Structure 1
Amino acid sequence: MPLVEPLPHALEYADRWLAYRRWRLRIPGVQVAVRVGGTLVLDSAHGTADQATGEALSTRHRFRIASHSKSLAALATMRLVEAGRVRLDDEAQQHVPALAGTDAGALLVRELVSHGGGAVRDGDDVAHWHLAADFPDAERLLALARAGVARIPASTEFKYSNVGFGLLSLVVEAVTGSSYADALESLVLAPLGLSATSADLPSDPPADLGPLVTGPLVTGHGALHSEAERATLGSPATGALAAATGAVSTAAELTDLLRTVTDADDRLLEAASRRRMRQQLWSTTGRDGSSAGYGLGLMLREIQGRTWVGHGGAWTGQATRTLVDAERDVVVSVLTNAIDGAAEELAVGVARIVSTALDPVEAPDDEALALARSFEGTFSSIWGRVDVVELGGRLLAIAPTAADPLQAVDVLTPEDADRVRIAAATGMGSGHELAIAERDADGRVARWRGAWHMDAVAAVPGEQRAG
């Protein structure tokens, strides 16, 4: 997809919007990447990698991407399927003799990779998710399998299962004759040339990881639901559940990884396999209440009438989300280092801003576009805050305090160099009225009067006002 002029402008605003949302939600740090047509068009970071030390977050910092690991495991599995080394309808026990005779062994590879096996989510003791015990190793996973993993009959309904993906990793190991980490490296990471992504962290990391690590690891932070301050949380190795939740990556590399399920990217899989991964097998509900679905290692959700695939990740101190528009070859990834980091909300917001630029409502001429953009800026009053920005050919007044930047926006029509007419989003606004811009010596809007009464402020409080 060729990069058109509206896209860089929209990306600049998306990054600014994200920086403000990070500040407003009190998230320590947010890393974001957007890839369009295979080109990394945004790679940015805001805030701190460690709130206690104040270390600035960079685009090189690596995050625990948690359940994104399932998409990586699905990619590895589908490569083995294409090579004829495993079939989606194989029972797990055909490849892992230790599972023979167990309900886990009777589960199909397809059921494991789609959360259709009816298996227990994390086991009967979830202390490892509370940093009170180690994650299960292979021996504990097999013991769980022997005790029985079924909680409902297989292929009955969607039932999310980290244990299921742990069992899938046993199949991958048996088929490849290597550890799951080595299999993921050879099947997925090495072919893409990725150096910051790994299947897991070492269980006993050396004091100096040296050249094996291409970027520092962020510090995870707890939630604010019961405390006034965020606690620092550990980031343990995940043992036999690495395929479910162990992976480490950056936003930039994650957009490259999940781009491999788009129509345009044939580096890893054939077109039929990519379509099969994206096919909705189960219906479910997203954490934000939206209608959602699941395919083979991929979440599905609708944004502005289009289906986006991808995955999210919830880790001890980190929350992450990646969205993929497979048809338009667009990937958005947002990584946060707080357990309540609102990554879903932020990723959807960025995706909506990008979509507005890719599907413009209007196509103004250069003169009209220049006039519209001359009104842009961030403004506030005692009543609220607004971003004035041109997106998709229209001049919009967006409330960055809202979770969805484009849910209810006022459309502004320039009347002349200093006045805009407001088409209010609701009848409660100043519809059909004029807002008057007062400009500074540089021609920037310093304040609004008339139907609005607001003054220019920095895009993020505490920062110098952007030019």
Structure 2
Amino acid sequence: MLSNFLIKMYWRNTMREPLEVRIERRLQETGLPGVSFGVVAEDKLACCEAIGLADKATGERLTNRHLLQACSISKFVSAIIALCVAERYKVNMDADINNYLTSWYMPRTRRDGTGAEADTEAGAPPLKPVSLRSLLCHQAGLLDPDDSFDSLVPGESAPTLLEILGGQTRLLPQSVVPVSAPYENFAYSDAGYCVIEQVLQDITGMSFTLLAEEFLFSPLGLGAFECRFEQPL
């Protein structure tokens, strides 16, 4: 892992070459244009650096002010915020997520995995709800389609969360519906964390931007950091 590599290299003061030189060499070996990183030591930000290029075509050097994709590191942030919200608002982690959703509805699946929504059929197995816990651990029965959640291209507008959940974007061309009962399988799901974001906003009445500020960045003293989706960034 890059994080482990950086931490080890930062503390090896007796290494034969500077950290920057070693990272530059690794960038050349891997073909990556650049990397931005921070090292936290004793609960403080020890360094925040950027090495390499922001643009191979122009040769522009990367700085720690450039915007880079956080990708699934954001799921770790989302999980922390979800647990903070659950604690403050007394959220039952195992309750039906629909108990907390107000702007969207999560379809449920039968225990046999048929995905049928109606539960009035004689002898039909009971519907099993999706919970916040099952969403957090990627066991809510959701399965992202191949090639979904690709990166936005320059100039492309970011869709709303409800558009994504409703399958109205190229990022997710189908609505979010469980394909199996919760806890039957593990399936890494970006869509599941979109649901988490929506339920947190519905519970608190706050945007995810404000939630990140209140529960994470502000308590940690990270005033220079922010999480927002407004265009342009």
| TM-score, scaled relative to structure 1 | 0.38
Q: Does 1:193 align with 2:221?
A: yes
Contact persistence 1:118–1:156 (CA under 8 A): yes
Give the Cα–Cα distance (whole angstroms) in 2 for the partners of residues 106 and 98 of structure 1: 17
Q: State the match for 1:179 in structure 2.
A: 207
Following superposition, the deviation at residue 108 of structure 1 comes to 0.5
**RMSD of the TM alignment (CA)?**
3.2
Identify which of 24, 34, 40 aligns with 1:35.
40
SS at match of 1:173: helix
Alpha carbons of 1:120 and 1:198: their partners in 2 closer, same or farther (altered >3 Å)? farther
Q: State the match for 1:76 in structure 2.
A: 81
Say which structure is richer in strand: 1
Q: Does 1:63 align with 2:65?
A: no
Q: Does 1:9 align with 2:2?
A: no
- Tell me which structure has the larger Cα radius of gyration: 1
Following superposition, the deviation at residue 159 of structure 1 comes to 0.5
Alpha carbons of 1:195 and 1:154: their partners in 2 closer, same or farther (altered >3 Å)? same
SS at match of 1:9: coil
Give the gaps of 5 or more residues in structure 1: 1-5, 210-467
Identify which of 141, 146, 149 aligns with 2:177.
149
Following superposition, the deviation at residue 27 of structure 1 comes to 1.9
Give the Cα–Cα distance (whole angstroms) in 2 for the partners of residues 174 and 167 of structure 1: 11
Q: State the match for 1:106 in structure 2.
A: 129
Pairing 1:189-228 to 2, within 5 Å after superposition: 189-202=217-230, 204-205=231-232
Pairing 1:1-400 to 2, within 5 Å after superposition: 7-10=12-15, 13-100=18-105, 102-103=107-108, 106-121=129-144, 126=148, 128-129=150-151, 131=153, 136-144=159-167, 149-202=177-230, 204-205=231-232
Alpha carbons of 1:28 and 1:93: their partners in 2 closer, same or farther (altered >3 Å)? same
Contact persistence 2:165–2:176 (CA under 8 A): no
Following superposition, the deviation at residue 17 of structure 1 comes to 1.7
Q: 1:84-137 CA distances to partner (integer Å, 9 max, x unpaired)?
A: 43222122101113445722893100011111112122x588375474976552
Give the Cα–Cα distance (whole angstroms) in 2 for the partners of residues 171 and 49 of structure 1: 35
SS at match of 1:8: coil
Q: State the match for 2:117 in structure 1.
A: none
SS at match of 2:166: helix
Q: State the match for 2:113 in structure 1.
A: none
Contact persistence 2:102–2:202 (CA under 8 A): no
Q: 1:342-377 CA distances to partner (integer Å, 9 max, x unpaired)?
A: xxxxxxxxxxxxxxxxxxxxxxxxxxxxxxxxxxxx
Contact persistence 2:36–2:49 (CA under 8 A): yes
Q: State the match for 2:6 in structure 1.
A: none
Give the Cα–Cα distance (whole angstroms) in 2 for the partners of residues 101 and 164 of structure 1: 10
Following superposition, the deviation at residue 46 of structure 1 comes to 1.9
Following superposition, the deviation at residue 28 of structure 1 comes to 1.5
Contact persistence 1:111–1:155 (CA under 8 A): yes
Alpha carbons of 1:60 and 1:138: their partners in 2 closer, same or farther (altered >3 Å)? closer
SS at match of 1:89: coil
Give the Cα–Cα distance (whole angstroms) in 1 for the partners of residues 153 and 141 of structure 2: 26
Give the Cα–Cα distance (whole angstroms) in 2 for the partners of residues 141 and 15 of structure 1: 40
Task: Count residues in correspondence.
Answer: 199
Give the Cα–Cα distance (whole angstroms) in 2 for the partners of residues 195 and 73 of structure 1: 18
Contact persistence 2:50–2:64 (CA under 8 A): yes
Give the gaps of 5 or more residues in structure 2: 1-10, 110-127, 169-173
Contact persistence 2:34–2:62 (CA under 8 A): yes
Tell me the amino acid that sits aligned with residue 186 of structure 2. Answer: F
Following superposition, the deviation at residue 187 of structure 1 comes to 1.6
Give the Cα–Cα distance (whole angstroms) in 2 for the partners of residues 52 and 118 of structure 1: 43
| TM-score, scaled relative to structure 2 | 0.71
Tell me the amino acid that sits aligned with residue 108 of structure 2. Answer: D
Give the Cα–Cα distance (whole angstroms) in 1 for the partners of residues 55 and 35 of structure 2: 12
Tell me the amino acid that sits aligned with residue 79 of structure 1. Answer: C
Give the Cα–Cα distance (whole angstroms) in 1 for the partners of residues 229 and 175 of structure 2: 28
SS at match of 1:63: coil
Give the Cα–Cα distance (whole angstroms) in 2 for the partners of residues 63 and 195 of structure 1: 18
Alpha carbons of 1:144 and 1:13: their partners in 2 closer, same or farther (altered >3 Å)? same
